[in-house]
């Protein structure tokens, strides 16, 4: 009898594995839609696990949900169910009933990991999550979700909330690590002696470029409240200002990394025109941003486009949109260099 039951169970599991291919298209669509609808629960679980430091604890080795709950001041059964869900998505692995280990994905939640996304997961799970509760109102009115949630634009909010601003800067630094490596692999900076990073945050991206270009010097141009938090860097000057007003002159190459997507076309053209005014006839402009591709080739990029719409009022752009934007600002797009990340490098010169 046990043998028959075992065979029946095996038959059920085999059928389950083949189930998706046997479903009616309408039922397949229903299951895919339900999976998509549950995506928010997965992302919220990811935020909670990050906030509790679960990945850090698991670097000690396999731990049970009970042990993890004790370390994180959590309820054991509730934590076990949360980690079970994340494990089904490859974030942590449940090696036996209620016992978990890290995966390559969950290790990226460790704050000290060289490619950590710890701060990004918390930033998306707090201010961004709160703002997205207002997405319906944003789509109906054109006002950003962030303004609806916090009663002010995102960058004004950060100026008056230094703790949140620091988390944002840490999140952006985390994103920049992988992007910097991919950009340095895809583009040769050796021909430039003066490298200007316009709106370059706390300088992580420019620092990586200067490290690989020991003959070059750099200028980091940012708002005063950002520059005051920047640690001194070798061969790099720190300059304050507003890229809507003016940009420093004298650069061989001007970098705009993750800048234009924060703004609509009118504001983006203002930034480009200030760069145009500062650049010499032989200077290059490098825009490091997502370039939208058709449909399924841009799943994460399309999500980023909605994020820009919701939070800053900006947008991600196609190659055609960038070409038009540059031409209307006095530039010619010369080349697009893809990288191993979602970002590309758009190289432009003055017309």
List the structure tokens of 15: 């059928």
* Distance separating alpha carbons of residues 346 and 350, to the nearest angstrom: 13
Residue 301: its pLDDT value, please? Answer: 85
Please report the pLDDT score of residue 6 as a whole number.
45
Give the chain's residues under pLDDT 50.
1-17
Q: Is the dihedral of CA 6, 8, 14, 16 positive or negative?
A: negative
pLDDT for res 19:
59
Domains 20-107 and 124-350 share a fold: no
Residue ranges per structural domain of the chain: 20-107, 124-350
Give the pLDDT score at 143: 95
pLDDT value of position 14: 46
DSSP 178-234: HHHHHHHHH---TT-SEEEEET-TTSHHHHHHHHH-TT-EEEEEE-HHHHTTPPP-T
pLDDT at 13: 47
Distance CA 253, CA 349 (A): 10
- Specify the fold of 124-350: Rossmann fold (3.40.50)
* Region of 246 on the Ramachandran plot (φ > 0 left; ψ -120 to 50 alpha; else beta): beta
pLDDT of amino acid 15? 45
**Domain 20-107, CATH 1.10.3720.10 — does that match?**
no
Residues 323 and 344 sit within 8 Å (Cβ to Cβ): no
Active-site option among 24, 129, 215, 261 = 261
261 is known as an active-site residue: yes
């Amino acid at each position: 009898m046990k043998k028959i039951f075992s065979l029946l169970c095996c038959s059920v599991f085999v059928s389950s594995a083949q189930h998706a291919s046997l479903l009616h298209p309408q039922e397949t669509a229903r299951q895919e839609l339900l999976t998509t609808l549950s995506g928010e629960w997965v992302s919220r679980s990811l935020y909670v696990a990050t906030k509790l430091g679960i990945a850090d604890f698991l670097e000690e080795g396999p731990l049970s949900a009970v042990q993890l709950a004790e370390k994180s001041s959590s309820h054991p059964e509730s934590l076990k169910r949360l980690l079970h869900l994340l494990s089904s998505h490859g974030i942590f692995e449940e090696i036996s009933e209620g016992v978990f280990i890290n995966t390559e994905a969950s290790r990226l939640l460790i704050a000290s990991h060289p490619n950590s996304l710890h701060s990004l997961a918390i930033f998306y799970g707090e201010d961004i999550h709160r703002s997205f509760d207002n997405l319906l109102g944003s789509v109906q009115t054109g006002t950003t979700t962030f303004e609806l949630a916090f009663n002010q634009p995102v960058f004004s909010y950060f100026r008056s909330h230094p703790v949140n601003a620091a988390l944002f800067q840490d999140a952006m630094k985390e994103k920049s690590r992988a992007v910097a490596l991919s950009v340095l692999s895809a583009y040769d900076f050796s021909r430039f002696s003066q490298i200007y990073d316009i709106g370059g945050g706390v300088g992580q991206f420019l620092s990586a470029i200067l490290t690989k270009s020991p003959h070059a010097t750099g200028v980091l141009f940012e708002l005063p409240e950002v520059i005051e938090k920047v640690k001194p860097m070798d061969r790099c000057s720190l300059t304050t200002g507003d890229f809507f007003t003016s940009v420093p002159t004298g650069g061989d190459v001007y970098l705009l990394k993750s800048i234009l997507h924060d703004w609509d076309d009118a504001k983006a053209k203002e930034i480009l025109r200030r760069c145009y005014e500062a650049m010499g006839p032989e200077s290059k402009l490098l825009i490091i941003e997502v370039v939208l591709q058709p449909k399924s080739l841009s799943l994460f990029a399309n999500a980023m486009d909605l994020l820009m719409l919701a939070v800053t009022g900006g947008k991600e752009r196609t190659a055609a949109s960038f070409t038009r934007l540059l031409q209307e600002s006095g530039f010619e797009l010369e080349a697009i260099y893809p990288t191993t990340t979602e970002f590309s490098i758009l190289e432009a010169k003055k017309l």
